[in-house]
Amino acid sequence: MAKMGFTLIELLVVMAIISILALLLFPAFQKIQDKANGVKCSSNLRQIGAALTIFAGDNSGVFPVSGGVIPYNQTDPTTGQYGWTQQIENYLPTKGGQDTRIFQCPTTSKLYPSSKSYGYFNGSHAAYYDYSHEPPQTNGFAGLRLARIQYPSKHILAGDIASNAFSSTDADKDDYTQNPAFTGTMSKMHGGKSNILFVDGHVAQFATFDYSKPAGTAGTDSDSRSLTVWYDRVADYSGNR
């Protein structure tokens, strides 16, 4: 009895079918992976938010101050403080040490090698521009005071870094002078959106800074906007403050 086998044509047809299936399934796999990364990132930010809030509770209601570029285990020459990530590490599940996994967004780690270990920014932009109410003053740097925030569900506390504008050694990334959540390769973030952590603890995704009132919405522009970096009013990162 002759042995049966596959002909070259049959093998080529099978390979072609497998290739087509792979091409069809790859986008779906990418979407599933991207969604999983987004969920992981949101979970990280919620834990960071809880740690920031507990830190404030132990420090007269003041969140960690950020300085310049601060490598891990070094202090800023101006503020005298460690990076904000190191200031809160004892309030995290990792309980101190150089385990930075909770500060790593899976998507950011791939897109921006300089943010691999620390992929989130500290939302201290408003403190930088409105530090006069926060004695003692340290050459313009001051921690964000929780009691002054009138829009906790809109006030940005931290978020994804969609920018490669930071030093790879910086454990103190912040939004003092830039808009790290909505610049850079946004189309490659979580479905084209960044995860943003708010003072009240919730995390939401945004593709851009939501500073305009939706058409047909009642109330003032300030009341209707979803994001702010100011203590006592709603405003965007740029333009009139």
71 phi and psi, to 5 degrees?
-65, 160
With beta carbons less than 8 A apart as the criterion, state whether 121 and 109 touch: no
Does residue 78 lie in a domain region?
yes
* Per-residue confidence (pLDDT) for residue 197, from 0 to 100: 95
Domain that holds residue 50: 8-224
Q: Is residue 230 part of a domain?
A: no
Is residue 1 situated within a structural domain? no
The Cα-based distances of 221 to 15, 172, 179 in angstroms read 58, 33, 21
Mean pLDDT of 108-115: 80
3-class state of residue 189 by DSSP: coil
Rg, C-alpha atoms of the chain: 23
Q: What is the mean pLDDT of residues 29-41?
A: 73
Residue 229 belongs to a domain: no
In a domain, 239, yes or no: no
What is the count of structural domains for the chain?
A: 1
CA distance 147 to 89: 23
241 in any annotated domain: no
Local confidence band at 131 (pLDDT 50, 70, 90 cut-offs): low
Could you give the CA distance from residue 95 to residue 214 in angstroms, rounded to a whole number? Answer: 43
Q: Is residue 171 in a domain? A: yes
- Which 8-state DSSP code applies to residue 6? -
Q: How far is CA 143 from the centre of its chain?
A: 19
pLDDT, tens only, 142-201: 788 888 888 898 889 999 988 888 888 899 998 877 778 887 777 778 888 889 999 999
Q: In what order do the strands lie in the sheet with 156-160?
A: 120-122, 156-160, 194-198, 203-206
pLDDT of residue 236: 64
Can you tell me the distance from the alpha carbon of 34 to that of 25, in angstroms, rounded to the nearest whole number? 14
Residue-wise pLDDT tens digits, 74-92: 999 888 899 999 999 989 8
Is residue 3 domain-resident?
no
